[in-house]
Amino acid sequence: MNPNRPVPRASVMEIEAYVPGKSGAPGAQKVYKLSSNETPLGPSPKAIEAFRNAAGSLELYPDGSAERLRAAIAKRHGLDPARIVCGNGSDDVLHLTASAYLNEGDEGIFTEHGFLVYRIAILAAGATPVVVPEKNYTADVDAILAAVTARTKIVFIANPNNPTGTWLPASEVKRLHAGLPPHVILVLDGAYAEYVTEADYSNGLELAKAHDNVVVTHTFSKIYGLASLRLGWAYASPEICDAINRIRGPFNVNGAALEAGIAAVEDAAHVEAAISHNDCWRNWLEVEIRKLGVEVTPSVGNFVLMHFPDTPGRRAVDVDAFLVKRGLVLRMVKAYGLPNALRMTVGSEEANRLVVTALADFLSGKA
């Protein structure tokens, strides 16, 4: 029997739409948005200038191949520009990779506190998501390899991970890749890679250079401060790039984003300033919040994850409501399987100090 209205693919109806971090605090005189891991330094002034200059040619289609942006990225990272694909945010590239390689009946793996878009991308492609437990809020290589079956076609790993801030050292990433069948794609999501200064960390680009089944993704939304323009990229084998290019939109990156992205990549000093600010204040936040008796997961990203007890009046939702009244907007992460945790973006000095003071007031019972 034919249905009486169009019916979407069953897996699509299993998707819970992504809900971004809230940005408002009703009644607050000033709002400090610390819910979406946006840089407090903003974009490079050079990127802003490039964006403004792009306004003079809005009637023209952008370069569909993003040739100049790919060249700038390649120069910055020592890559082959022919092996770079640009997208409307790194989310776009994640979805395109899943769509190009997953069929109905296939499986895609991600970890229990991994980025929500992985599940969405897998289901949107008609495949089955497989969630693997973590160890100490960190991806567990042995657990991931144990979950691989004949139906596995893709493994998503955020390194460092959002919302936990944890990371896998280079040796563990290599061990994970070595344990995967050659037809299984390892996607290393490096949205926060630029912030990591740990000696044992690798962004995965060298691994992608050497192997045909590794995709490394990056975004301009975080350290480059271009979240509003939606710009991301991936580095992969020529074959994977060819497959993605066959299905991506012909002009999937807008002209203003292309110009701002080029300028942002070339402004190394602005990136270094963002790293320096983040190292200083992330470390300060972890120390000061722990002094209050609040558990903090060690982070290498531009955010910290705080854990609260499952006690009425002291739960994460109670803390969140208290902070919002003061204009401090953090991120509840219940959707990530962390109902009693709050994720806080490393903000400006003012915002960071206000959060610590507010947490102290909450814990001491002050209004």
Two tokens, residue 198: 């740990």
Is 3 a domain residue? no
Assign residue 213 the CATH number of its domain: 3.40.640.10
Average pLDDT on 216-232 reads 98
Q: Is the domain of 51 the same as that of 198?
A: yes
Q: Is the domain of 57 the same as that of 184?
A: yes
Instruction: Label residue 13 by pLDDT band (50, 70, 90).
Output: confident
Assign residue 324 the CATH number of its domain: 3.90.1150.10
pLDDT at 18: 77
Q: Is the domain of 112 the same as that of 211?
A: yes
Q: Is the domain of 248 the same as that of 275?
A: no
Q: Is the domain of 234 the same as that of 278?
A: no
Question: Has residue 278 got a pLDDT over 60?
Answer: yes
Q: What is the pLDDT of residues 36-83, one digit of tens each?
A: 999 999 999 999 999 999 999 999 999 999 999 999 999 999 999 999
Q: Is the domain of 109 the same as that of 194?
A: yes
Is 253 a domain residue? yes
pLDDT at 8: 86
Q: Is the domain of 65 the same as that of 27?
A: no
| Averaged pLDDT of the chain | 96
Is 317 a domain residue? yes
Q: What percent of the chain has pLDDT over 90?
A: 91
Question: Is 268 or 29 the better-scoring residue by pLDDT?
Answer: 268
Is 107 a domain residue? yes
Instruction: Label residue 309 by pLDDT band (50, 70, 90).
Output: very high
Question: Has residue 12 got a pLDDT over 90?
Answer: no
Which of 233, 267, 301 terminates a domain? The answer is 267
Q: How far is CA 88 from CA 79, 91, 219, 234, 324, in A?
A: 20, 7, 9, 11, 31
pLDDT at 19: 79
Q: Is the domain of 328 the same as that of 251?
A: no
Q: Is the domain of 76 the same as that of 21?
A: no
Average pLDDT on 85-108 reads 97
Which of 267, 300, 335 terminates a domain? The answer is 267
**Domain tally, the chain:** 2
Question: Has residue 167 got a pLDDT over 80?
Answer: yes
Is 2 a domain residue? no
Q: What is the pLDDT of residues 313-362, one digit of tens each?
A: 999 999 999 999 999 999 999 999 999 999 999 999 999 999 999 999 99
Q: Is the domain of 341 the same as that of 282?
A: yes
Is 323 a domain residue? yes
Question: Has residue 3 got a pLDDT over 90?
Answer: no
Which of 240, 267, 294 terminates a domain? The answer is 267
Average pLDDT on 101-130 reads 97
Average pLDDT on 168-181 reads 98
Q: How far is CA 312 from CA 318, 340, 367, in A?
A: 8, 11, 17
What gap in Å lies between CA 70 and CA 42, rounded to an integer?
Answer: 23
Q: What percent of the chain has pLDDT over 70?
A: 99
Q: Is the domain of 239 the same as that of 354?
A: no
Is 6 a domain residue? no
Is 7 a domain residue? no
Question: Has residue 367 got a pLDDT over 70?
Answer: no
Residue 171's domain spans which residues? 45-267
Instruction: Label residue 24 by pLDDT band (50, 70, 90).
Output: confident
pLDDT at 1: 57
Average pLDDT on 306-315 reads 95
Q: Is the domain of 306 the same as that of 159?
A: no
Is pTM beyond 0.85 here? Answer: yes
